[in-house]
Structure 1
Amino acid sequence: MNSMNSSQIPVVSIVARHSNSGKTTLLEKLLREIKKRGWRVAVVKHDAHEFDMDKPGKDSWRFTQAGADVVAISSPYKTAILETRELERTLDEVLERLPDDVDLIFTEGYKHGNKPKIEVFRSAVHQELFSKPEELIAIVSDVQFEVGVPCFDLDDAVGICDFLAEKYQLS
Protein backbone atom coordinates (compact mmCIF):
# COMPACT_ATOMS: atom_id res chain seq x y z
CA MET A 1 0.00 0.00 0.00
CA ASN A 2 1.25 3.50 -0.78
CA SER A 3 2.26 5.85 1.99
CA MET A 4 1.03 8.85 0.00
CA ASN A 5 -1.24 11.66 1.01
CA SER A 6 -4.37 12.04 -1.05
CA SER A 7 -2.80 14.64 -3.36
CA GLN A 8 -0.11 12.10 -4.37
CA ILE A 9 -2.43 9.18 -5.09
CA PRO A 10 -2.57 8.58 -8.84
CA VAL A 11 -5.88 9.61 -10.40
CA VAL A 12 -6.87 8.19 -13.79
CA SER A 13 -10.03 9.23 -15.62
CA ILE A 14 -11.80 6.62 -17.73
CA VAL A 15 -13.46 8.61 -20.51
CA ALA A 16 -15.34 8.24 -23.78
CA ARG A 17 -17.26 10.52 -26.09
CA HIS A 18 -20.66 8.95 -25.34
CA SER A 19 -22.57 7.06 -22.68
CA ASN A 20 -22.81 3.32 -23.30
CA SER A 21 -19.26 3.26 -24.63
CA GLY A 22 -18.01 0.59 -22.24
CA LYS A 23 -16.44 2.72 -19.48
CA THR A 24 -18.25 0.95 -16.65
CA THR A 25 -17.57 -2.48 -18.17
CA LEU A 26 -13.87 -1.64 -18.45
CA LEU A 27 -13.78 -0.38 -14.87
CA GLU A 28 -15.40 -3.60 -13.64
CA LYS A 29 -12.69 -5.63 -15.40
CA LEU A 30 -9.93 -3.40 -14.03
CA LEU A 31 -11.33 -3.52 -10.50
CA ARG A 32 -11.44 -7.33 -10.52
CA GLU A 33 -7.81 -7.48 -11.67
CA ILE A 34 -6.74 -4.80 -9.19
CA LYS A 35 -8.29 -6.72 -6.30
CA LYS A 36 -6.36 -9.84 -7.37
CA ARG A 37 -3.21 -7.74 -7.02
CA GLY A 38 -4.15 -6.59 -3.52
CA TRP A 39 -4.40 -2.90 -4.38
CA ARG A 40 -6.93 -0.64 -2.69
CA VAL A 41 -8.82 1.48 -5.18
CA ALA A 42 -11.41 4.25 -5.15
CA VAL A 43 -13.81 5.18 -7.94
CA VAL A 44 -15.43 8.59 -8.30
CA LYS A 45 -18.42 8.55 -10.63
CA HIS A 46 -19.71 11.84 -11.97
CA ASP A 47 -23.43 12.08 -12.61
CA ALA A 48 -24.60 15.02 -14.70
CA HIS A 49 -28.11 14.54 -13.32
CA GLU A 50 -29.34 14.64 -9.77
CA PHE A 51 -29.00 11.25 -8.12
CA ASP A 52 -30.49 10.07 -4.87
CA MET A 53 -29.02 7.32 -2.73
CA ASP A 54 -31.55 7.81 0.03
CA LYS A 55 -34.62 5.63 0.07
CA PRO A 56 -37.83 7.41 1.05
CA GLY A 57 -38.85 6.46 4.56
CA LYS A 58 -35.38 5.30 5.68
CA ASP A 59 -33.73 7.11 8.59
CA SER A 60 -31.09 8.83 6.44
CA TRP A 61 -33.79 10.12 4.07
CA ARG A 62 -35.84 11.33 7.03
CA PHE A 63 -32.82 13.19 8.46
CA THR A 64 -32.22 14.90 5.11
CA GLN A 65 -35.90 15.78 4.79
CA ALA A 66 -35.78 17.28 8.28
CA GLY A 67 -32.91 19.56 7.26
CA ALA A 68 -29.59 17.79 7.78
CA ASP A 69 -26.99 18.98 5.27
CA VAL A 70 -24.76 15.94 5.85
CA VAL A 71 -25.87 12.46 6.87
CA ALA A 72 -23.31 9.69 7.49
CA ILE A 73 -24.23 6.04 7.57
CA SER A 74 -21.70 3.66 9.07
CA SER A 75 -21.54 -0.06 9.68
CA PRO A 76 -18.63 -2.38 10.45
CA TYR A 77 -18.00 -2.80 6.69
CA LYS A 78 -19.22 0.34 4.91
CA THR A 79 -19.43 4.06 5.40
CA ALA A 80 -21.39 6.50 3.28
CA ILE A 81 -21.61 10.25 3.58
CA LEU A 82 -24.52 11.98 1.87
CA GLU A 83 -24.15 15.72 1.53
CA THR A 84 -26.78 18.12 0.24
CA ARG A 85 -25.14 20.92 -1.76
CA GLU A 86 -26.28 23.99 -3.62
CA LEU A 87 -23.22 23.95 -5.90
CA GLU A 88 -21.38 20.95 -7.31
CA ARG A 89 -17.96 20.20 -5.86
CA THR A 90 -15.03 20.20 -8.27
CA LEU A 91 -13.31 16.89 -8.87
CA ASP A 92 -10.32 18.05 -6.82
CA GLU A 93 -12.64 18.92 -3.93
CA VAL A 94 -14.22 15.46 -4.12
CA LEU A 95 -10.79 13.82 -4.25
CA GLU A 96 -9.67 15.73 -1.13
CA ARG A 97 -12.51 14.11 0.81
CA LEU A 98 -11.57 10.52 -0.09
CA PRO A 99 -9.65 8.29 2.32
CA ASP A 100 -5.91 8.44 1.72
CA ASP A 101 -5.33 4.70 2.17
CA VAL A 102 -5.96 3.76 -1.46
CA ASP A 103 -3.33 3.01 -4.08
CA LEU A 104 -5.18 4.36 -7.09
CA ILE A 105 -8.26 6.46 -7.85
CA PHE A 106 -10.33 6.08 -11.01
CA THR A 107 -12.85 8.62 -12.15
CA GLU A 108 -15.66 8.01 -14.59
CA GLY A 109 -17.64 10.77 -16.25
CA TYR A 110 -15.12 13.60 -15.85
CA LYS A 111 -14.19 13.72 -19.54
CA HIS A 112 -13.44 17.45 -19.44
CA GLY A 113 -11.34 17.15 -16.28
CA ASN A 114 -7.61 17.71 -15.99
CA LYS A 115 -6.60 14.22 -14.85
CA PRO A 116 -4.68 11.72 -17.02
CA LYS A 117 -7.14 9.86 -19.22
CA ILE A 118 -7.66 6.38 -20.58
CA GLU A 119 -10.14 6.69 -23.42
CA VAL A 120 -12.50 3.85 -24.29
CA PHE A 121 -13.15 3.70 -28.03
CA ARG A 122 -15.42 1.17 -29.72
CA SER A 123 -15.59 1.40 -33.50
CA ALA A 124 -19.31 0.49 -33.50
CA VAL A 125 -20.09 3.55 -31.35
CA HIS A 126 -17.41 6.14 -32.14
CA GLN A 127 -16.08 7.89 -35.24
CA GLU A 128 -12.99 9.51 -33.70
CA LEU A 129 -11.21 9.92 -30.39
CA PHE A 130 -12.75 12.41 -28.00
CA SER A 131 -9.56 13.37 -26.14
CA LYS A 132 -6.53 15.21 -27.41
CA PRO A 133 -3.50 12.87 -27.58
CA GLU A 134 -1.62 14.93 -24.97
CA GLU A 135 -4.42 14.30 -22.43
CA LEU A 136 -4.19 10.52 -22.83
CA ILE A 137 -2.03 7.97 -21.08
CA ALA A 138 -3.65 5.06 -22.96
CA ILE A 139 -6.47 4.02 -25.26
CA VAL A 140 -8.65 0.93 -24.82
CA SER A 141 -10.23 -0.06 -28.11
CA ASP A 142 -11.25 -2.68 -30.64
CA VAL A 143 -9.05 -0.92 -33.24
CA GLN A 144 -5.43 0.24 -33.06
CA PHE A 145 -4.38 3.88 -32.78
CA GLU A 146 -0.94 5.38 -33.34
CA VAL A 147 -1.09 8.59 -31.31
CA GLY A 148 1.93 8.12 -29.04
CA VAL A 149 0.25 6.25 -26.16
CA PRO A 150 -0.30 2.52 -25.57
CA CYS A 151 -3.43 1.02 -27.10
CA PHE A 152 -4.98 -1.95 -25.29
CA ASP A 153 -7.72 -4.37 -26.28
CA LEU A 154 -11.08 -3.92 -24.57
CA ASP A 155 -10.56 -7.18 -22.64
CA ASP A 156 -6.90 -6.64 -21.62
CA ALA A 157 -7.39 -5.74 -17.96
CA VAL A 158 -4.12 -7.51 -17.06
CA GLY A 159 -2.14 -5.46 -19.58
CA ILE A 160 -3.75 -2.20 -18.50
CA CYS A 161 -3.06 -2.96 -14.83
CA ASP A 162 0.55 -3.89 -15.67
CA PHE A 163 0.84 -0.53 -17.45
CA LEU A 164 -0.62 1.35 -14.46
CA ALA A 165 1.61 -0.56 -12.04
CA GLU A 166 4.71 0.45 -14.00
CA LYS A 167 3.59 4.04 -14.61
CA TYR A 168 2.68 4.72 -10.97
CA GLN A 169 5.05 2.28 -9.19
CA LEU A 170 2.21 0.19 -7.77
CA SER A 171 2.97 -3.27 -6.45
Structure 2
Amino acid sequence: MDEKEECSQIPVISIVGGKSNSGKTTLLEKLIREAKRRGWRVATLKHDVHGFEMDQPGKDTWRHDRAGADVVAISSPKRIAVLERVSDDQPLDEVLARIQGVDVIFTEGYKHANKPKIEVYRSAVHQELFSKLEDLIAIASDVEFDNGIPCFGLDDVQGICDLIESKFGVKGSAG
Protein backbone atom coordinates (compact mmCIF):
# COMPACT_ATOMS: atom_id res chain seq x y z
CA MET A 1 0.00 0.00 0.00
CA ASP A 2 1.50 3.33 -0.99
CA GLU A 3 1.38 6.53 1.06
CA LYS A 4 -1.62 8.01 -0.79
CA GLU A 5 -3.63 4.78 -0.43
CA GLU A 6 -2.91 4.65 3.31
CA CYS A 7 -3.95 8.28 3.76
CA SER A 8 -7.12 7.80 1.73
CA GLN A 9 -8.15 5.04 4.13
CA ILE A 10 -7.82 7.29 7.18
CA PRO A 11 -11.19 8.95 7.79
CA VAL A 12 -11.02 12.74 7.52
CA ILE A 13 -13.79 14.65 9.26
CA SER A 14 -14.03 18.43 9.11
CA ILE A 15 -15.39 20.32 12.11
CA VAL A 16 -17.02 23.42 10.64
CA GLY A 17 -19.15 26.37 11.62
CA GLY A 18 -20.50 29.40 9.84
CA LYS A 19 -18.73 31.96 12.02
CA SER A 20 -15.94 32.50 14.49
CA ASN A 21 -16.84 31.67 18.09
CA SER A 22 -19.25 28.95 17.00
CA GLY A 23 -17.57 26.41 19.29
CA LYS A 24 -15.55 24.41 16.74
CA THR A 25 -12.37 24.27 18.80
CA THR A 26 -14.25 23.47 22.01
CA LEU A 27 -16.07 20.57 20.34
CA LEU A 28 -12.84 19.37 18.75
CA GLU A 29 -11.07 19.33 22.14
CA LYS A 30 -13.88 17.20 23.58
CA LEU A 31 -13.87 14.87 20.54
CA ILE A 32 -10.11 14.38 20.84
CA ARG A 33 -10.41 13.48 24.54
CA GLU A 34 -13.20 10.98 23.83
CA ALA A 35 -11.34 9.50 20.86
CA LYS A 36 -8.19 9.07 22.98
CA ARG A 37 -10.29 7.44 25.73
CA ARG A 38 -11.38 4.91 23.09
CA GLY A 39 -7.79 4.20 22.12
CA TRP A 40 -7.85 6.04 18.80
CA ARG A 41 -4.71 7.66 17.42
CA VAL A 42 -5.84 11.15 16.41
CA ALA A 43 -4.42 13.79 14.10
CA THR A 44 -5.76 17.30 13.75
CA LEU A 45 -5.17 19.77 10.98
CA LYS A 46 -6.02 23.43 11.50
CA HIS A 47 -6.18 25.77 8.51
CA ASP A 48 -5.06 29.32 9.23
CA VAL A 49 -5.61 31.75 6.36
CA HIS A 50 -3.65 34.44 8.21
CA GLY A 51 -0.40 32.48 8.55
CA PHE A 52 1.21 31.42 11.81
CA GLU A 53 4.49 31.27 13.69
CA MET A 54 5.43 28.26 15.80
CA ASP A 55 9.00 29.18 16.52
CA GLN A 56 10.24 31.37 19.31
CA PRO A 57 12.47 34.28 18.31
CA GLY A 58 16.11 33.62 19.13
CA LYS A 59 15.80 29.81 19.37
CA ASP A 60 17.97 27.67 17.10
CA THR A 61 15.16 26.56 14.78
CA TRP A 62 13.97 30.16 14.46
CA ARG A 63 17.52 31.15 13.49
CA HIS A 64 17.67 28.31 10.92
CA ASP A 65 14.38 29.52 9.41
CA ARG A 66 15.52 33.14 9.30
CA ALA A 67 18.75 32.04 7.61
CA GLY A 68 16.62 30.65 4.77
CA ALA A 69 16.19 26.92 5.38
CA ASP A 70 13.25 25.56 3.35
CA VAL A 71 12.50 22.85 5.92
CA VAL A 72 13.29 23.11 9.62
CA ALA A 73 12.71 20.08 11.84
CA ILE A 74 13.15 19.60 15.54
CA SER A 75 13.10 16.26 17.31
CA SER A 76 12.98 15.25 20.96
CA PRO A 77 12.21 11.98 22.76
CA LYS A 78 8.49 12.90 22.84
CA ARG A 79 7.80 15.13 19.81
CA ILE A 80 8.84 15.92 16.27
CA ALA A 81 7.92 19.11 14.45
CA VAL A 82 8.61 19.93 10.83
CA LEU A 83 8.13 23.44 9.48
CA GLU A 84 8.25 23.73 5.72
CA ARG A 85 8.31 26.92 3.73
CA VAL A 86 5.72 26.88 0.92
CA SER A 87 5.01 29.36 -1.86
CA ASP A 88 1.24 29.35 -1.40
CA ASP A 89 -1.69 27.61 0.33
CA GLN A 90 -1.40 23.85 -0.19
CA PRO A 91 -4.38 21.71 -1.26
CA LEU A 92 -5.93 19.85 1.66
CA ASP A 93 -5.29 16.40 0.16
CA GLU A 94 -1.57 17.19 -0.24
CA VAL A 95 -1.30 18.18 3.41
CA LEU A 96 -3.32 15.12 4.50
CA ALA A 97 -1.01 12.83 2.52
CA ARG A 98 1.77 13.73 4.98
CA ILE A 99 -0.18 12.41 7.98
CA GLN A 100 0.24 8.71 8.71
CA GLY A 101 -0.14 6.25 11.56
CA VAL A 102 -3.45 7.53 12.93
CA ASP A 103 -7.01 6.20 13.06
CA VAL A 104 -8.83 9.47 12.31
CA ILE A 105 -7.98 12.99 11.15
CA PHE A 106 -10.08 15.94 12.30
CA THR A 107 -9.73 19.19 10.40
CA GLU A 108 -10.78 22.64 11.51
CA GLY A 109 -10.98 25.61 9.18
CA TYR A 110 -11.50 23.73 5.89
CA LYS A 111 -15.21 24.49 5.61
CA HIS A 112 -15.25 24.47 1.81
CA ALA A 113 -13.24 21.24 1.43
CA ASN A 114 -14.86 18.10 0.05
CA LYS A 115 -14.63 16.10 3.28
CA PRO A 116 -17.44 14.80 5.51
CA LYS A 117 -18.42 17.53 7.94
CA ILE A 118 -19.79 17.96 11.43
CA GLU A 119 -21.27 21.43 11.72
CA VAL A 120 -21.26 23.21 15.06
CA TYR A 121 -24.38 25.34 15.40
CA ARG A 122 -25.15 27.57 18.36
CA SER A 123 -28.44 29.47 18.24
CA ALA A 124 -26.87 32.55 19.88
CA VAL A 125 -24.33 32.85 17.04
CA HIS A 126 -26.03 31.43 13.92
CA GLN A 127 -29.19 32.11 11.94
CA GLU A 128 -29.01 28.98 9.76
CA LEU A 129 -26.77 26.05 8.92
CA PHE A 130 -23.70 27.02 6.92
CA SER A 131 -23.12 23.68 5.14
CA LYS A 132 -25.07 21.93 2.43
CA LEU A 133 -26.98 19.03 3.99
CA GLU A 134 -25.39 16.50 1.61
CA ASP A 135 -21.94 17.43 3.00
CA LEU A 136 -22.92 16.83 6.65
CA ILE A 137 -22.59 13.59 8.59
CA ALA A 138 -23.80 15.27 11.79
CA ILE A 139 -24.73 18.51 13.50
CA ALA A 140 -23.62 19.44 17.02
CA SER A 141 -26.07 22.01 18.33
CA ASP A 142 -27.93 23.56 21.23
CA VAL A 143 -31.20 23.20 19.26
CA GLU A 144 -32.78 20.25 17.44
CA PHE A 145 -32.86 19.98 13.65
CA ASP A 146 -35.37 17.84 11.78
CA ASN A 147 -33.60 17.54 8.42
CA GLY A 148 -32.52 13.90 8.33
CA ILE A 149 -28.98 14.64 9.57
CA PRO A 150 -28.04 13.15 12.97
CA CYS A 151 -28.13 15.97 15.52
CA PHE A 152 -26.17 15.78 18.78
CA GLY A 153 -25.92 18.08 21.77
CA LEU A 154 -22.77 20.20 21.96
CA ASP A 155 -21.41 17.93 24.72
CA ASP A 156 -22.50 14.56 23.26
CA VAL A 157 -19.06 13.50 22.08
CA GLN A 158 -19.79 9.87 22.95
CA GLY A 159 -22.68 9.91 20.47
CA ILE A 160 -20.59 11.65 17.80
CA CYS A 161 -17.71 9.18 18.25
CA ASP A 162 -20.20 6.27 18.11
CA LEU A 163 -21.39 7.67 14.76
CA ILE A 164 -17.79 7.96 13.51
CA GLU A 165 -17.11 4.36 14.61
CA SER A 166 -20.15 3.01 12.81
CA LYS A 167 -19.85 5.17 9.68
CA PHE A 168 -16.07 4.87 9.14
CA GLY A 169 -15.14 1.70 11.06
CA VAL A 170 -12.71 3.51 13.36
CA LYS A 171 -11.52 1.13 16.07
CA GLY A 172 -8.15 2.33 17.30
CA SER A 173 -5.46 0.33 19.00
CA ALA A 174 -7.79 -0.75 21.80
CA GLY A 175 -10.43 -2.03 19.32
TM-score (norm 2): 0.93
> What does 1:137-152 align with in structure 2 at a 5 Å threshold?
137-152=137-152
1:1-171 alignment runs, 5 A limit: 5-98=6-99, 100-171=100-171
CA distance in 2, matches of 1:167, 1:146: 20
Between 142-151 and 132-141, report the one with greater CA deviation.
Answer: 142-151
Alignment RMSD (CA, Å)? 0.9
Report the secondary structure of 1:6's partner residue.
Answer: helix
Partner amino acid for 1:47? D
SS at 1:5's partner residue? helix
Q: Residue 78 of structure 1: CA displacement? A: 0.5
Give the superposition deviation at 1:84: 1.2
CA distance in 2, matches of 1:77, 1:44: 19
* SS of corresponding position for 2:55: coil
Report the count of equivalent residues: 167
Deviation at 1:159, TM superposition (A): 0.6
2:8 and 2:169 map into 1 onto residues whose CA distance is 16
Runs (4+) of structure 1 exceeding 3 A deviation are none
Letter matched to residue 60 of structure 2: D
Deviation at 1:147, TM superposition (A): 1.8
Distance in structure 2 (CA, Å) of the matches to 1:10 and 1:52: 28
SS in 1 for 2:111: coil
CA distance in 2, matches of 1:164, 1:62: 42
Q: Secondary structure at the match of 1:7?
A: helix
| 3-state secondary structure, aligned to 1:39 | coil
TM-score (norm 1): 0.95
Identical-residue share of aligned pairs (%)? 66
Give the drift of 1:117. 0.4
TM-superposed deviation, 1:79: 0.7
CA displacement, residues 42-93 of structure 1 (integer Å, 9 cap, x when unaligned):
0000001011001110011100111101001111111110011111111111
Structure 1 portions without partners, runs of 5+:
none
Distance (whole Å) between structure 2 residues aligned to residue 92 and residue 142 of structure 1: 32
Q: 1:146 deviation in Å?
A: 1.6
How far apart are residue 170 of structure 1 and its match? 1.7
